[in-house]
Amino acid sequence: MRKRRHHMGLLSPFYPSAMVSSAYDIPYEELYKKGFRGLIFDIDNTLVLHGEPWDQASRLLFERLRRIGFHALVLSNNKEERVRPFAEGVGCAYLCKAGKPKRSGYLEALKRMGTTAENTLTIGDQLFTDIWGANRAGIRSLLVKPLGPEKELQIILKRIPEKLVLFCYRKRRGSNYRKHSDKETGIRHYDQQRS
């Protein structure tokens, strides 16, 4: 029993605060009422399909976030040629070549938005970059189901150990984890079985 707990502890840096079906299904108004003020987003397979430009849905999402009062920023490991046009298209700040999961990109994002780790959320589709980096910086994280299939081999290979981590995450939360909400955000877990 002791080994099992230790093993779970080793994986906990990769656990999200909650899992949600999509960045577009998050109850942002409720999060704002709970005191959250900053949102850090991944781009590829979180807001649009991998490599795709901004679209109407992503532009409308960021307009909605501004109306609510959120500060938002896209944080990406991609180069400026990919990130800047997307960020300008949706009208938000950005950081490229962020080196996720390093803490430095997340801390710079907080600085640029003028928010704190306590009132900011990270939304992304990858455990080993988006979620781990947010956890290392002390920021709550929401794992979304990827919008589409991966195109890069390195990401395809990362999805294999992600399955193990998510299995342990579900097991740790118990068989009824989907009925529970994250305490800080109030967001109910979405069971995203990855194929």
pLDDT tens across 57-91, in order?
Answer: 999 999 999 999 999 999 999 999 999 999 999 99
Residue ranges in the chain whose pLDDT is less than 50? 1-8, 177, 179, 191-195
**SS3 letters for 31-62?**
HHHCCCCEEEECCECCCECCCCCCCHHHHHHH
The structure's pTM equals 0.82
pLDDT at position 80: 96
What does the alpha-carbon distance between residue 81 and residue 7 come to, in Å, rounded to a whole number? 40
185 touches 121 (CB < 8 A):
yes
What is the predicted pLDDT for the residue at 194? 42
Report the Cα 79 to chain-centroid distance in Å: 19
**pLDDT tens digits, one per residue of 123-136:** 999 999 999 999 99
Query: Residue 85: its pLDDT value, please?
Result: 97
Q: What pLDDT sits at residue 3?
A: 43
Say what the pLDDT of residue 5 is: 43
pLDDT value at position 195? 38
Domains of the chain: 29-149 (3.40.50.1000)
**Contact, 90 vs 56, CB < 8 A?**
no
91: left (phi over 0), alpha (psi -120 to 50) or beta: left
